[in-house]
Amino acid sequence: MSFVTNAGSAVVGHIGASESARTQNLSNRLSREAAIAEYGRQDAALGKRQGQEADAASARKADVALQARSARATNAVAAGEAGIAGFTVDSLMQDIIAQEGRFNERTDTNLDWTVDQLQESKKGAQAQMRDRINSLRDVTPPSFVETGLKIGSAAVNAGTTYLNLAERRSRPSSV
């Protein structure tokens, strides 16, 4: 009876540990897939934001270019109507061009900084994904050899117990 109980316990334990390992490994696989999908969403959102920032910078530069052209035209017309020409008019035109250039340079610099920050955010999202994946450990299912050894040990114990009982019965009682 002891053998059957111990062997049955080893088999049931093996089945339970196998199922537990399978469930944990499935959960880990789903967690890995979720981490990869979340990284994909974050990367796409950051890429979209990068494009939006570039579009917004281009739009601001285009608006300033229109304003600068308008200011130069207004100054040229006003100078022409007033009969003014020469260094003063040229200096005013150069100032408008310089202001446009400074604005464009600041806009480009700010865009570069924003893009750099978004790239760092992408690297952070990737590192977060790797950390999530690396924290998951697959579980090794129990070995059939280990279970077989437990059953064999139960058989040896049962055989030893049987032999001990048989030896006691074969001895004459000393009463």
Cα separation, 164 vs 168, in Å, equals 6
Lowest-confidence pick of 31-40, 85-94, 124-133: 85-94
Per-residue pLDDT tens over the stretch 20-63: 888 999 999 999 999 999 999 999 999 999 999 999 999 999 99
Residue 93 lies in a domain: yes
Split at pLDDT 50, 70, 90, the class of 170 is confident
How many domains does the chain fold into? Answer: 1
Split at pLDDT 50, 70, 90, the class of 152 is confident
Residue 40 lies in a domain: yes
Residue 93, pLDDT above cutoff 80: yes
The Cβ of residue 96 has, within 10 Å, a number of other Cβ atoms equal to 18
Residue 175 lies in a domain: no
Residue 13, pLDDT above cutoff 80: no
Domain that residue 126 falls in: 2-170
Q: In this structure, which amino acid lies at residue 110?
A: N
Residue 25 lies in a domain: yes
pLDDT at 174: 62
Split at pLDDT 50, 70, 90, the class of 140 is confident
